[in-house]
Amino acid sequence: MTKTTTPIRVVIVDDSRTMTHLLASILRAAGDIHVVGIAADGEEGVRLVQRLHPDLVTMDIYMPKMNGAIAVREIMRTHPVPIVIVSTNHKPHTMDLTFQALRAGALTVVDKPSLNDPKTSQHLVQTVRLMAGVPVIHHWGTVSVKPSTPPRKPSPSTNIKIQLQNLKSKIRVIGIAASTGGPSTVAAVLKNLPAEFPLPVVLVQHFSPGFASGLADWLGTQTSLRVDLAVHGSTLQPGTVLLAPDDYHLQINRAGVVELSKGPSYKGLRPSANPLFESLAMAYGPAALGIILTGMGDDGAEGLLKLHQAGGVAIAQEEDSCVVYGMPREAIARGAVDGSLTPEQIGFTLEQIACSSTKGGGGFDV
């Protein structure tokens, strides 16, 4: 007997008839994807999701009546479903709406496909297949990213094995890796850190090509830290987040100088978190802190293991707070992680590192 699989039921939301026709043709041609509804604006998209209960929604951003960011918020509040943003508009206003949509619960962003580039069609189909199975939750409201009140100081769970107070040397650099669900999670980690944060942060975030600059700009509005795209030959600076640019691995040498490379991709990923963590292990050893956040796959796990073996501290995002638990789970399975924390707990831990570094001590309590 031939094994059959349940088709993925998709609703397309886009105000361009040409684009909806193209998207529908590409998805239907995949064989295992059924387009069950097409909406020309966000309002209609919300209604279709409520009526059809699809497995996934592809969402345009800039549309009449209701833009994609508002539509995502409404869907995630009333009938949560995996949502993939499909956009090629990199103008500042549209990029801002894109990241609002991600913060509201959309899973990821892909470029609109082009008839002249078959890879974009393949990427769309692959993303729909991967994201359709991601469990999602209700998002009941929005969160202020820069609260005027003092930040809450969450207590780590009792099973945390990290003993940061026993570090033999001070933390001098922080490396972060994230993928699906990463932008809003990274924002949650960094949002309460002060502008005078005494350490540099280096970040690898998997994203569709063309969005790295927009991500850096958006992330800079979510934190008091400075956020820049990494430039080859630049040096690490305290209070600055350096983001790996499109299609380049980001590494740091022993002099604290940025090295960008076109080295081999890791399972199709460039940038990959593995080269970053490996370089921090070699350059900083026990003075490096590696953090692996939500994401699909196992990128970063091997590199984090090397950082851990070099005496550095490795933290994974705990399972319940992850959009996708793949990357943290794989790092834990390899024995690369000292303990798991929520994004808020990670942020508080970084505040404690800053406090310890400012006082000149070699350790701190979590």
Q: Which of 249, 299, 340, 357 is catalytic?
A: 299
pTM for the structure as a whole: 0.85
- For residue 196, what are the domain limits? 164-359
pLDDT tens-digit profile, the chain (366 residues)? 445 578 999 999 999 999 999 999 999 999 999 999 999 999 999 999 999 999 999 999 999 999 999 999 999 999 999 999 998 766 777 788 998 999 898 999 998 998 888 888 998 999 999 899 887 765 545 433 333 334 445 554 433 444 454 454 589 999 999 999 899 899 999 999 999 999 999 999 998 888 898 899 999 999 999 999 999 999 999 999 999 999 999 999 999 999 999 999 999 999 999 999 999 999 999 999 999 999 989 999 999 999 999 999 999 999 999 988 999 999 999 999 999 999 999 999 998 887 766 555 443 333
Are residues 244 and 289 part of one domain? yes
Q: Is there a domain that residue 307 lies in? A: yes
Per-residue b or e along 167-188, where b marks 16 or more CB atoms closer than 10 Å to that residue's CB: beebbbbbbbbbbbbbbbbbbb
Residue 364 confidence (pLDDT) = 36
Among 131, 156, 177, the domain-final residue is 131
Q: Quote the pLDDT of residue 154.
A: 54
**In a shared domain, residues 126 and 185:** no
The Cα–Cα gap between 204 and 230 comes to 10
Q: How many domains does the chain have?
A: 2
Q: Catalytic residue among 179, 208, 356, 357, which? A: 179
Q: Are residues 97 and 172 in the same domain?
A: no
The one catalytic residue among 15, 121, 206, 272: 206
> The CATH number of the domain where 124 resides is what?
3.40.50.2300
DSSP state, residue 40: S
144 is catalytic: no
217 & 80 share domain: no
228 is catalytic: no
Q: How far is Cα 301 from Cα 277, in angstroms, rounded to an integer? A: 9
Residue at 143 is within a domain: no
pLDDT at 89: 67
Q: Is there a single domain that holds both residue 125 and residue 218?
A: no
Tell me, yes or no, whether 288 lies in a domain: yes
Contact (CB, 8 A) for 303 and 202: no
In a domain? residue 3: no
- Do residues 97 and 178 both lie within one domain? no
Query: Which CATH number fits the domain that encloses residue 203?
Result: 3.40.50.180
**Residues 14 and 84 occupy one common structural domain:** yes
266 in Cβ contact with 299 (< 8 Å): yes
Q: Are residue 284 and residue 176 in the same domain, yes or no?
A: yes
The 10 Å CB-count burial string (b at 16+, else e) for 4-18 is: eeeebbbbbbbbeee
87 lies in some domain: yes
- Judge whether 214 lies within some domain: yes
Q: Are residues 302 and 346 in the same domain?
A: yes
Q: Tell whether 183 and 305 lie within a shared domain.
A: yes
How far, in Å, are 166, 280, 307 from residue 163 at the CA level? Answer: 6, 20, 16
The pair of structure tokens assigned to 203 is 């970040």
pLDDT of residue 166: 46
Annotation marks residue 206 as catalytic: yes
Is residue 299 included in any domain, yes or no? yes
Q: Is the residue at 83 inside a domain?
A: yes
Q: Are 229 and 353 within one domain?
A: yes
Q: Transcribe 245-294 into DSSP letters.
A: PTT-EEEE-TTSBEEEE-PPPBTTBSS-HHHHHHHHHHHHGGGEEEEE-S
Query: Is 171 found in the same domain as 124?
Result: no
